[in-house]
Amino acid sequence: MKQAWITGTSSGLGKALAECLLSKGWCVYGISRNPGPEHPNYQHLGLDLSQAGAAEQLDFSPGQATEVLLINNAGTLGEIGWMGTLSDKTLREGLILNLVSPAILSNRFLKQTQGLPGRRSILNISSGAAQNPYDGWAMYCSSKAGLDMLGETIALERQLHHDSQTRIFSVAPGILDTPMQAHIRASNKEGFSSLDKFTTLHREGKLASPDQVAIKLIEIIENPEKYTANRYDIRDL
C-alpha cells in the first residue's frame, strides 16, 4: 500500500495531484480547508495551514504502508502589493502557509516515518518566483525561495545520513490555469507592474493544465533514479 499526504487538494494542482495518485492506486490524505476529490481511497483532513499550530495536528504514522509521500502544495500569493502597504495579518498567514507549515510537516513526516522499509519522498511545489523577484509578491517570492532551500538542506542531511530511500524534490510547475492566476488578474498595476504579462498569457490560452503538470510531477516521484537533482522546473523536463 502506498500512502500520500497532499496539502491544498480542494482545487488546482493539489486536486489534480490527488486524482492522479488515486488513479494509480495510492491512498491519499488531502489536507485543506475544503473537501477534495470524491474517491473511496481519499480522506479529507480539514485544516487551515495558514493558522499557527495547525500543522502540528498532522499524524504521518505509516501503518502498513510500503511507500510514503508528502506533497507540500498549498500556497498563496496573499495580498498583492508593495511592501509598506500590506496587512501584517496577511503577511503572517502567507508565510505560515507557504513556508512554516511545510517545514513543520516535513519535520513530522521524516520523524514519524523513520524505519519504513520502503521509499519516502517529499515533493515541494516551488515557483519561478523563488528565483526571480516580482514587485508586489515579496511574501510569495521569499517564502518560495525559503521552501527551495528547505528542500536542499533536507536532501543534504539525508545524503550525510547515507539514506538512499528518502528523496526530496522542489519543482516549479510553470504558470498554471488555477484560482491563483485569477487572483493575479484581479490585481492592479500600481501594486504589480507585471500584470499585463499574466493577463496576456490567459487571453492567449498559454496557461498550463494542472492535470498535465500533475502527471509530470508524479513521474518524478515514481522514477527517482532518473531525476538525480533536487530542484527542477517542469518546463525544462
Domain boundaries, the chain: 2-174+209-236
DSSP state for residue 209 in the 8-state scheme: P
Distance in angstroms (rounded) separating the CA atoms of residues 81 and 136:
4
Residue 169 phi/psi, 5° resolution? -130, 140
Which residue in this structure is represented by grid cell 491544498? 8
* Tens digits of residue pLDDT in 193-235: 999 999 999 999 999 999 999 999 999 999 999 999 999 999 9
C-alpha cell at 64: 502498513
pLDDT of residue 115: 87
Residue whose C-alpha is closest to residue 33's, from 45, 22, 42, 43: 45
Residue whose C-alpha is closest to residue 122's, from 56, 185, 168: 168
* Tens digits of residue pLDDT in 169-180: 999 999 999 989
Strands 166-172 and 42-46: unpaired
Q: Determine which one of 29, 42, 134, 140 is catalytic.
A: 140
DSSP state for residue 208 in the 8-state scheme: B
Distance in angstroms (rounded) separating the CA atoms of residues 33 and 30:
10
| Length of the chain (residues) | 237
Q: What sections of 86-137 are H helices per DSSP?
A: 88-95, 101-112
Sheet holding 120-125, edge to edge: 42-46, 27-32, 2-7, 67-72, 120-125, 166-172, 231-233
pLDDT of residue 44: 97
Q: Determine the 3-state secondary structure of 68 from DSSP.
A: strand
pLDDT of residue 12: 95
232 is catalytic: no
Catalogue the E-assigned strands of 126-214.
166-172
Averaged over successive runs of 10 residues, the pLDDT of the chain (237 residues) comes to 97 97 98 96 97 96 94 97 97 98 98 94 97 97 98 97 96 94 91 93 93 97 96 94
Q: Determine the 3-state secondary structure of 60 from DSSP.
A: coil
Its CATH class, for the domain covering 2-174+209-236, is alpha beta
C-alpha cell at 142: 521569499
Q: Please, which contacts does 141-145 make with residues 24 or more away whose CB atoms are closer than 8 Å?
A: 143/75, 143/94, 143/95, 143/98, 143/99, 144/75, 144/98
